[in-house]
Amino acid sequence: MAKRVINFYAGPAGLPLPALERAQAELLDFSGTGMSVMEISHRSKEYEAVHNEAIALIKELLSLPPNYHVILIQGGGHLQFGMVPMNLLYKGRGADFICTGTWADKAYKEGKIVAGELARCAASTKDDKFARLPYPGEIKIDPSSVYVHFTSNNTVEGTQFHTWPETGGIPLVCDMSSDFMWKPFDVSPFGIIYAGAQKNLGPSGVTVVIIRDDILQQCLDKELPSYLRYRIHVEKNSLYNTPPTFGIYILRNVLAHNKEIGGLEAIHRRNLRKAELLYACIDRHADFYRPFVKVKEHRSAMNVDFFLPTPEQDDAFVKAAKAAGMVGLKGYRDVGGIRVSMYNAVSVENVETLVAFMEEFVSKQG
């Protein structure tokens, strides 16, 4: 096998090696067809088996109740920013948006394009550079809202909701793109969950949407272009148009691997250990590894931002880490510094290697 680096990219991100090895073994002859999965019809029984298995695994791993539907769609989170309000905000119906980061803010702006002033900002931490989450008393929910939108993990800034916003029973709509399936959770407060696959689940090009039946029944139908209707994707089992078949195949491989290693409970234990290791190192050397997020309760277990004392040292850190076989550590362009993305496919051993590197780096540069 060719040498593989330790991948800390924020997305597209690393994938579990067994999922890739399965794809490698089946690439030229998938399921005895004499073709790759990229070459066969999405209407074939061989592909439909993969498609249905991916959906079934999502339901199983999340313990989804029967009143939730799973959609596999293209367009990423950006399409969902507009698709959710297009389906639900009509005839004077409004929604609240909790603005906690770059992507949460984009979702709010797309909501305003669709619904104007009926898309309301219930709270924002923009004045604090999105370096923290709103405290409960700062979130002002309009009781007439159809839903409350939030982003569970802020990939750019490194904050994460560890408890859900309190809405007084109003359904939550959540962009979980960067922490979907990082742990088990109760889906019942959520009307819609959506997640681009390219962080925790698979390659870019596939988005998982989970929608509760009572919310689906409120969605517009004939008033929207066909592809933008949630109803049609549910009715057609996400086969209304040609789906991203290879992406869904890899998604299936990842989900099957997740089940094999113990499901979300096992994944959660590993993720907590990775965060514990990295944050302990940062806290030991807080004058050198300076965290962007100052409120410890708001720290993300998926994306960790910090700065070294000078931009030159940031650059030296990234270059030295790459030379040591670790890539993807340069911070997002709007924040800078260092960003470590520790999605599900990143192992505890990978983070131990990074922490050992950080200890050596601070001993030389600190």
Write out the catalytic residue numbers.
103, 175, 199
Would the CA dihedral through 68, 71, 76, 78 be positive or negative? negative
And the tokens for 16? 């579990």
The residue whose two tokens read 């695994």 is 57
SS3 readout for 38-69: CCCCCCCHHHHHHHHHHHHHHHHHHCCCCCEE
Return the structure tokens found at 271.
């993720």
| Cα–Cα distance, 30 to 16 (Å, whole number) | 20
Q: Which residue has the tokens 């639900």?
A: 88
d(CA 27, CA 249): 11
Strand-pairing partners, residue 209, are 71, 194
Parallel/antiparallel/unpaired status of strands 207-212 and 190-196:
antiparallel
Count of CB atoms within 10 A of residue 34's CB?
A: 10
CA distance 101 to 35: 43
φ/ψ of residue 215, rounded to 5:
-75, -40
CA distance linking residue 156 with residue 131, whole number of Å: 10
Tell me the C-alpha distance between 353 and 343, whole Å.
Answer: 16
SS3 303: strand
Enter the tokens of residue 229: 């209707």
Sheet of 119-124, strands arranged across: 68-73, 207-212, 190-196, 172-175, 148-151, 95-99, 119-124
- How far apart are the C-alpha atoms of 279 and 97, rounded to whole Å? 30
CA distance 136 to 168: 12
Cis peptide before 184 (omega within 30 of 0): no
